[in-house]
Structure 1
Amino acid sequence: MNPIFRKLQASFILHSRALDQAALLLRASVSVQLIQGPLTFANERQYRTMPTHGIGRYKHLIPKEAPKKKKERLQMKPIKMATDTEYGTLNVKVSGYDMILVEHYSQYIHNLCNRLGVKVAESYALPTKTMEVMVMAEQGTKMYIDAILKTHERIVQLSQLNATLCPIFMEVLLKNQPEGVQLSVKQHTEADYLDRFKARPELAGLMAQINY
């Protein structure tokens, strides 16, 4: 065989092998790209352009509530007058510096009324009163604050207390009265009703200017 022809045949075989290897590498790269392509595409958010149709919304499922009525201004209840057998509207006032003692004692009075069948019209707290105790130095005229005392008050309002039951009721209250707590019972008046509201002199001044 001609040596030139052999050389040409050998070079052709080498080129064909190189082309086959290149084709294999190209196919491998294409397959890798095809495998990686869907994975990267799956990580993307495809639902951004899709309608949600109310997903995550729940307010339309809750039944509509009726509009809340505006709170009416607290009106004073008519004061019941005393009769031959019953007292009228009475205010049992508990006051003291220790709020816990005052609160517990007023709850005890309320529970006692429930056990004895005494009607409790209302039970409420009065605004806390603050008093500053001033002390003067031994030498000099300057005064400084030594302590601040806060007086807490609770009202248990009774209605139609039986006259025969009243002495026994008061005796039980006095025997169970804790130390440091003051107790008083008086007829309910309009001034007592106004005391339950905190005074606002600046508002009263503005209202007076408007009315003027």
Structure 2
Amino acid sequence: MNPVIRKLQASFALHSRALDHAGLLFGASLSVQHPIQGCLSFSNERQYRTMPTHGIGKYKHLLPKEAPKKKKERQQMKQIKMATYTEYGTLNVNVSGYDMILVEHYSQYVHNLCNRLGVKVAESYALPTKSTEVMVMPEQGTKMYVDAILKTHERIVQLSQLNATLCPTFMEVLLKNQPEGIQLSVKPHTEADYQTRFKARPELEGLMAQIT
């Protein structure tokens, strides 16, 4: 046989073996890649939605638990302290007048003076505003008409355990700094004074009477 033909046959056989080997490797790579494609198709089904998240993305379980809010109870009157040999009991410093700004400023002055002198202030509050109609009768005729409406503003500074030796000096300072148009009075606190803090509601009281 011609040697040229032999060389061609040998090279052809070598190439065929190389192609067969490459085919085996390519088939193996396909067999290895096939499970990956299966995983990709499996992940597209979103099976993780059925899995528990265990609070992922939530923060409320990390916050400390708050105590339940208590129902607001109706305000009750505090116990009235009685006077002793060295101290007064519960006293009400009543500041009233027609000018609300003066009344408010003077009541603040009384409160600040108590803080400086070491007098214990139990409470400081405002009473409901009272309206007074000024009626005028004309010279001719008997029919009266309203000429003006005066509004009285009141503030209470409630003192507790005022020292008897300090009381004269305390009252002297208050009277010397009392502005014009402001009325000042000091008296012991009573249960009737506590009831005047609340605005009267006759309609509500009538309904409550019908229920009871």
Q: 1:29-178 residue pairs with structure 2 within 5 A? A: 68-178=69-179
Deviation at 1:70, TM superposition (A): 2.8
What 5-or-longer segments of structure 2 have no aligned partner? 1-57
Q: Cα deviations across residues 83-102 of structure 1 (Å, max 9, x unaligned)?
A: 00000000000000000000
CA–CA distance in structure 1, aligned partners of residues 59 and 68 of structure 2: 18
CA–CA distance in structure 1, aligned partners of residues 100 and 122 of structure 2: 23
Deviation at 1:171, TM superposition (A): 0.1
The amino acid across from 1:190 in the alignment is E
Task: Find the residue that maps to 1:104 and give its secondary structure.
Answer: helix
Task: Find the residue that maps to 1:103 and give its secondary structure.
Answer: helix
Deviation at 1:142, TM superposition (A): 1.2
Task: Find the residue that maps to 2:86 and give its secondary structure.
Answer: coil
Residues 142 and 111 of structure 1: is their aligned pair in 2 closer, same or farther, counting only changes over 3 Å? same
Match of 2:206 in 1: 205
CA–CA distance in structure 1, aligned partners of residues 119 and 131 of structure 2: 33
Q: Cα deviations across residues 37-61 of structure 1 (Å, max 9, x unaligned)?
A: xxxxxxxxxxxxxxxxxxxxxxx76
Deviation at 1:206, TM superposition (A): 1.2
CA–CA distance in structure 1, aligned partners of residues 95 and 80 of structure 2: 21
CA–CA distance in structure 1, aligned partners of residues 78 and 192 of structure 2: 13
Aligned residues: 152
Residues 61 and 144 of structure 1: is their aligned pair in 2 closer, same or farther, counting only changes over 3 Å? farther
CA–CA distance in structure 2, aligned partners of residues 104 and 67 of structure 1: 40
Match of 1:41 in 2: none
TM-score normalised per structure 1: 0.68
Match of 1:184 in 2: 185
CA–CA distance in structure 2, aligned partners of residues 100 and 65 of structure 1: 42
Task: Find the residue that maps to 2:194 and give its secondary structure.
Answer: helix
Deviation at 1:204, TM superposition (A): 1.0
The amino acid across from 1:89 in the alignment is T
Match of 1:7 in 2: none
Task: Find the residue that maps to 2:175 and give its secondary structure.
Answer: helix
User: How large is the Cα RMSD of the aligned pairs?
Assistant: 1.5
Higher-Rg member (1/2): 2
Match of 1:23 in 2: none
The amino acid across from 1:208 in the alignment is A
What 5-or-longer segments of structure 1 have no aligned partner? 1-59
Deviation at 1:119, TM superposition (A): 0.1
